[in-house]
Structure 1
Amino acid sequence: MSGDLPTAFAAIVDDFNAVTAPDRLQMLLEFSRNLPALPERYAEHPELLEPVPECQSPIFLIAEVDGAGDDAVVHLHFSAPQESPTTSGFAGILHEGLDGLTVADVLAVPADVSDRLGLAEAVSPLRLRGMAGMLGRIKRQVREKAAA
């Protein structure tokens, strides 16, 4: 189920699937608390971040690509409201699972990864689409920046 994911992301999926639905919600809350703050360069210039309208809560993100080509390293930054723990939690999962990976590894992450967390019975499909929207934007930004 998680064999086609990068190691860190596979571990997250496995952890979520090893516990009951209520515990998955608790884990999601933990990820929301562990989402790193925006670096000052973005906190002072939020217009540089891209909104994710698929999310029910206002969330913004930016992917940075250090280097060129498939081996360039990706760094992710999110601005998510703390009063929206589901959205912040999804951002936290994406950050922990993807930040520091190569362009090739990020682009290889399957689009259905949000479905693999076993949260369908705990959160609405609309919220899961929000996470898929975040991943889609991350991958598009990474593709564009790696090609530049």
Structure 2
Amino acid sequence: MKIDDIIDDFELLDSWDDRYRYLIELGRKLPPYPEAERTDMRKVQGCASQVWLVSATGGEASDPRLDFIGDSDAHIVRGLIAILLAIYSGRSASEIAQIDPAKVFDRIGLKEHLTPQRSNGLRSMVERIRTEARSALAVA
């Protein structure tokens, strides 16, 4: 799903109960995460829930494109992963470095509705994605 579509959908929902339900639904639509990738190496540190992220690179060697898949054992966190994948997946490593996800989370009003623990976990996921992008550029 495209991030603009997600933002539009959030803007249509009036209550935060509806927005949380939508967030959970986004998480349910994530593609299946391979069991073989549920390793400590793929686990995102700094998240209270268990979160796994894996990337694959393609495209131009000088500025590779990164595709991400992810999963969590928590429903709301799976929804956050879905939003992050909509923001970052399929973009070049240099684009990923320029994206500020806080603007997206501010637009949908999610930032102020996350617990401090989930906000920390979200920052950890973003940092992991950016680290993967920097690593892909370093190899290029």
> Normalising by the residue count of structure 2, what TM-score does the alignment of the two structures yield?
0.80
Counterpart selection for 1:34 from 29, 32, 40: 29
Counterpart in 2 of 1:9? Answer: 3
Counterpart in 1 of 2:97? Answer: 107
Runs in 1 of length 4+ with deviation above 4 angstroms?
Answer: none
Tell me the SS of whatever aligns to 2:39.
helix
> How far apart are residue 135 of structure 1 and its match?
1.2
> Normalising by the residue count of structure 1, what TM-score does the alignment of the two structures yield?
0.76
Unmatched segments (≥5 aa) in structure 2:
none
Counterpart in 2 of 1:46? Answer: 38
Q: Taking CA–CA contacts closer than 8 Å with sequence separation of 6 or more, which of the two structures ends up with the larger relative contact order?
A: 1
> How far apart are residue 115 of structure 1 and its match?
4.0
Counterpart selection for 1:95 from 60, 68, 85: 85
Counterpart in 2 of 1:79? Answer: 71
> How far apart are residue 44 of structure 1 and its match?
2.0
Q: 1:117 to 1:130 in 2, by over 3 A?
A: farther
> How far apart are residue 27 of structure 1 and its match?
1.1
Counterpart contact for 1:9–1:96, Cα < 8 Å: yes
Instruction: Output the CA distance in 2 between the equivalents of 1:120 and 1:103.
Output: 25
Q: 1:45 to 1:124 in 2, by over 3 A?
A: closer
Counterpart contact for 2:52–2:71, Cα < 8 Å: yes
Tell me whether 135-144 or 61-70 shows the greater mean CA deviation.
61-70
Q: 1:128 to 1:142 in 2, by over 3 A?
A: same
Give the length in aligned residue pairs: 136
RMSD: 2.4
> How far apart are residue 121 of structure 1 and its match?
4.9
Tell me the SS of whatever aligns to 1:78.
strand
Give percent identity, aligned residues only.
27
Letter in 1 for 2:38: P
> How far apart are residue 63 of structure 1 and its match?
2.0
Counterpart contact for 1:69–1:146, Cα < 8 Å: yes
